[in-house]
Amino acid sequence: MFQIALKSLRAKWRDYTVLFVGLVISAAIFYMLSAIALNRDFLLNNSSIGLIVPVFMVGEFLLGVITFVYLNFANSFLLRLRQSEYGLMSMLGAKKSQIGDLLMQETLALGVISTVIGIFAGIGLTAASGNFLMNLLDTKLANWSVFSFNAALATLVFFVALFFINGLYNRGRLSKQDTLTLLTADKQVAQPKRHKLLDPLLGLVGLGLLILSYVMMPGIVHLGLYGFIVVLVLNVWGTYWFVSRTLKMVTYALRGSRFNNRGLRSFLNGQLLFRLPEYQRILTVISVMFGLALGAMSVGQGYYRALPQQAQSGQPFTAAYTSDKISTSNLKDITWEATYHYSVNKDKVYFNGDEFNEKKLPTVVETGKGNETRIKWLTGDYLLATPGSEYTLTSIANQILDKQYGATAVVTHNESEMAVEGDVKSVRLVTVKSFAANEATLTANAKREARLTGTAMNHQAGVPGMFTLLKNVFGGLEFMGIFLGIAFLAMLASTLMFKVLSGVADDKRRYRILTMIGTSKRQVTATVVKDLGVLFFIPLVIGTLDVIFGLPMFKALMADPYVGFMPSLIAIVVLYVIYFVMTVILYRRLLK
C-alpha cells in the first residue's frame, strides 16, 4: 500500500509542488508577523508603532483566519487529489482505518516539512525585508530581531495543530465514503445551487450593508470602539454576501444576454458561476486583507510624507549654524537670515538683548484657532520684560550645549554683560520658504554641523533637527506600515494564487473541450487571463474601496490622510499584478 501511495505521489508531483510551495510561503509570512508580535522589547522601544497596533492586531487575527482557510482547502485538496487512489486501495482490500492512517501520515508529514522549511524561509525573508526597509527609510529600529524562538515555536505549533485537526476531519470524511464514491470522485462535478428568491434578496442586502459600512467609515472616530466593531461586522458580512450572492445574481442576469453571447464570454460566465460557491469565503477574507494591506501602507507612508510639513510648521526658523564653515548660498528661496552672538557659562547660554532690538527674533505662537500657529517677532526689550518668552532661544541653547532639553537661555541687556560670562561666539539663523525643496541641502548642512561642532542632528534647532527627531519617532510607523502591507499582500496573493492552481485538475477538462471545438492557443490564453483576472479583480476593487472610504478616520491624526494613498496603491497593485502574471503563467503550463 505504501508503494502505491509513493507511486501516486510521484505521478502527481506537479500538484504537490504547487501545494507545498504555497504552504512554505504561508508559514514564512506567518513567522514574519509572529516575530514582530512576540518581540515585546521592539514594540515597547518604538513608541510610534503603538499607533498601528490596532491595525496590526486585526491583521494578525485575519492572518490566522486566512491561514486556517488556506490549510483547510489545502488538506481538502490533498484528500480530493488522492481519493481515486484511496478507492483503489479499498478495492484491493485495504481497510478504511489503514487508509485513514496513511492519509494522516501524509498530511502531518507534508505539514511538518513545509512548516520547518517555511520557518527558515521566514527568517531569511524577515532579515531581507527588514534590512531593505530600514536602509530605504534611513531608519534604525531598537531591538529589531530576525530570529525569535517563540515565533518559530508558535508557527510550528499553530501549523501542526491545524494540520492535525484537518487531518482528523479528512479522515472522518474518508471513512464515510464508500469505495465507488472514492473511485469516481474526480469525475463528479458539483452543480451550483440557485435560490430564485433568496439569492437576489441577500445580494441586495449584501450590497446595502457594504454601502452602509462605507457611509459610516468617515465618522468612525465619533462612533468609538463599538462603532468600529459595527462597521467592521457590516463590512465583512456585506463583502461576503456581495461576493456570494450579488455577483451570483449578476452572473445569472447576464446569461442569455447579447453581451454574454459574444466570443467566449458565456464560458467565462459559467466558470465564475462554478467558482463562486468554492471561492466565496476565501475571496471575502482576501478582500478584507487587501484593504488592510493597502491601508497599513497608506497610513505609514502618510505619516512619513507629512513629516517635512509637520517639522516646518512648528519651527520659527529653518536652521541654526554655529560653525562659520557652513554656507547658506546654495539654499533656495531664503526669506530671512540673521546672525546673533552668545557666550556660554556652564549650562547657561547668554544672548545680547540689544541685537534683538535691531534684528527681531522669530517665535511661534498659537492663534487661538485650534492648532493653528503664526510667527511673532520679538524684540530684546520684550524678551527681558516677559519671562518665559525665550523658548526660541532655549532651542538654540540646547543645540549649542548638545542637549535634547535642559539648557537655559539668558537674555542680557547689552554686549558687555554677555561677554563677562565667556567667549563671544556667533550663531546664524536662516529661514527658507520650503523645507521640502531644500531637504537634501539642509540635511547635508545639518550633518556637517554635527561633524564640525559635535552636536547631534536631533539636538539641532530648527526644521532639520525636528525632522530628524520626528523621523526617528515615525520612521518605525512607516516601516511597520510597509512591512505589514507587503506581508498581508504576499499572504493573500499567495493564498489566492495556490487556491487557483490547485483547481487546475478540474479546469483542465473544461479547457480541453474548448481546444476540441477549435479554439486556438492564443484564444485559450486570453480566456485564462480573463478567467483568473476576475478572481484577482474582485478583492482589488473591494479592498481599494475599503481604504478610500476608511482613510478619513485618520483625519484626527493626519492633516491629509490620503497623502500616502496613491504611492501605496501603485506599489500594491504592481506587486499584485506580478502575482497575477505568475499565476497565469503557472496555470497555463499546468493546463498542458
What's the pLDDT score for residue 2?
57
Q: What is d(CA 485, CA 292) in angstroms, rounded to the nearest whole number?
A: 7
Q: What is d(CA 30, CA 156) in angstroms, rounded to the nearest whole number?
A: 10
Grid cell at residue 61? 487575527
Determine the structural domain holding residue 519 and report its residue range: 223-315+467-591
Residue-wise pLDDT tens digits, 342-354: 999 888 999 999 9
Calculate the CA 560 to chain-centre distance.
19
The total of structural domains in the chain comes to 3
For residues 327-331, give the mean pLDDT: 87
Report strand pairing: 334-345 vs 408-412.
Answer: unpaired
Q: Is residue 431 part of a domain?
A: yes
Grid cell at residue 400? 549649542
Calculate the CA 375 to chain-centre distance.
38
What's the pLDDT score for residue 230?
87
pLDDT category, 79, cuts 50, 70, 90?
Answer: low
Decide if 254 contacts 218 (C-beta within 8 A). no
Report strand pairing: 425-432 vs 319-321.
Answer: antiparallel
Consecutive H or E run containing 430: strand 425-432
Q: Is residue 216 part of a domain?
A: no
Does 228 lie in the same domain as 244?
yes
Report strand pairing: 408-412 vs 348-352.
Answer: parallel
Q: For 204-218, give the DSSP string.
A: HHHHHHHHHHHHHGG
Least confident range from 403-412, 490-499, 559-568: namely 490-499
For residues 214-231, give the mean pLDDT: 80
For residues 19-38, give the mean pLDDT: 78
Does 377 lie in the same domain as 338?
yes
Q: Is residue 204 part of a domain?
A: no
For residues 382-397, give the mean pLDDT: 87
Q: Is residue 243 part of a domain?
A: yes
Residue-wise pLDDT tens digits, 405-454: 888 999 998 888 888 888 899 999 999 988 888 888 998 999 899 999 98
- Mean pLDDT rounded to a whole number for the chain: 80
Does 292 lie in the same domain as 337?
no
- Is pTM beyond 0.85 here? no
Q: What does the chain come to in residues?
A: 592
Least confident range from 73-82, 327-336, 417-426, 559-568: namely 73-82
Q: Is residue 146 part of a domain?
A: yes
pLDDT category, 320, cuts 50, 70, 90?
Answer: very high
Q: Is residue 553 part of a domain?
A: yes
Three-class DSSP category at 522: helix
| pLDDT surpasses 70 at 384 | yes
What's the pLDDT score for residue 1?
55
What's the pLDDT score for residue 427?
93
Position 57: which residue type?
M
Does 324 lie in the same domain as 309?
no
Q: What is d(CA 170, CA 289) in angstroms, rounded to the nearest whole number?
A: 28
What's the pLDDT score for residue 350?
93
**Is the model more confident about 340 or about 9?**
340
Does 126 lie in the same domain as 68?
yes
Considering 461, 490, 515, which residue would you say is the last residue of a domain? Answer: 461
The proportion of the chain whose per-residue pLDDT surpasses 70, expressed as a percent, equals 79
**Is the model more confident about 206 or about 258?**
206
| pLDDT surpasses 70 at 83 | no
Calculate the CA 22 to chain-centre distance.
20
pLDDT category, 111, cuts 50, 70, 90?
Answer: confident
| pLDDT surpasses 90 at 283 | no
Does 430 lie in the same domain as 292?
no
| pLDDT surpasses 80 at 387 | yes
pLDDT category, 464, cuts 50, 70, 90?
Answer: confident
Residue-wise pLDDT tens digits, 92-107: 676 767 777 777 777 7
Nearest CA-CA partner of 121 in 187, 185, 32, 209: 32
Distance spanning both ends of the chain, measured CA to CA? 30
| pLDDT surpasses 60 at 59 | no
Does 339 lie in the same domain as 305?
no
Does 552 lie in the same domain as 571?
yes
Please give the angle made by the CA atoms of 270, 257 and 524, to the nearest 5 degrees: 40
370: exposed, middle or buried (C-beta count within 10 Å: 0-12, 13-18, 19+)? exposed
For residues 525-542, give the mean pLDDT: 90
Q: Is residue 415 part of a domain?
A: yes
Q: Is the dihedral of CA 99, 102, 106, 107 positive or negative?
A: positive
Decide if 264 contacts 212 (C-beta within 8 A). no
Least confident range from 44-48, 192-196, 420-424, 544-548: namely 44-48
Considering 165, 188, 211, which residue would you say is the last residue of a domain? Answer: 188
**Is the model more confident about 169 or about 461?**
461
| pLDDT surpasses 70 at 236 | yes
What's the pLDDT score for residue 351?
93
Give counts: helices (H), strands (E), the chain. Answer: 21, 7
Residue 456: CA count within 13 A, CB half-sphere? 11
Residue-wise pLDDT tens digits, 118-174: 999 989 888 887 777 666 556 666 667 788 888 899 889 988 888 888 778 777 777
pLDDT category, 577, cuts 50, 70, 90?
Answer: very high
For residues 507-526, give the mean pLDDT: 80
Residue-wise pLDDT tens digits, 164-207: 887 787 777 776 666 555 555 555 555 566 677 787 888 888 88
Please give the angle made by the CA atoms of 524, 526 and 530, to the nearest 5 degrees: 115
Q: What is d(CA 362, CA 373) in angstroms, rounded to the nearest whole number?
A: 13
| pLDDT surpasses 90 at 340 | yes
Nearest CA-CA partner of 473 in 348, 252, 303: 303
pLDDT category, 302, cuts 50, 70, 90?
Answer: confident
Does 234 lie in the same domain as 171?
no
Considering 139, 172, 188, which residue would you say is the last residue of a domain? Answer: 188
Q: What is d(CA 162, CA 348) in angstroms, rounded to the nearest whole number?
A: 65
| pLDDT surpasses 70 at 585 | yes
Grid cell at residue 202? 441577500
Does 452 lie in the same domain as 341?
yes
Decide if 483 contacts 130 (C-beta within 8 A). yes
The proportion of the chain whose per-residue pLDDT surpasses 90, expressed as a percent, equals 16
Does 399 lie in the same domain as 456?
yes
Q: Is residue 210 part of a domain?
A: no
What's the pLDDT score for residue 540?
93
Highest averaged pLDDT of the listed ranges 34-38, 253-257, 469-473, 536-540: 536-540
Decide if 156 contacts 148 (C-beta within 8 A). no
Grid cell at residue 126? 524577515
Grid cell at residue 218? 468617515
pLDDT category, 212, cuts 50, 70, 90?
Answer: very high
What's the pLDDT score for residue 119?
92
What's the pLDDT score for residue 191?
55
What's the pLDDT score for residue 344?
92
Does 291 lie in the same domain as 272?
yes
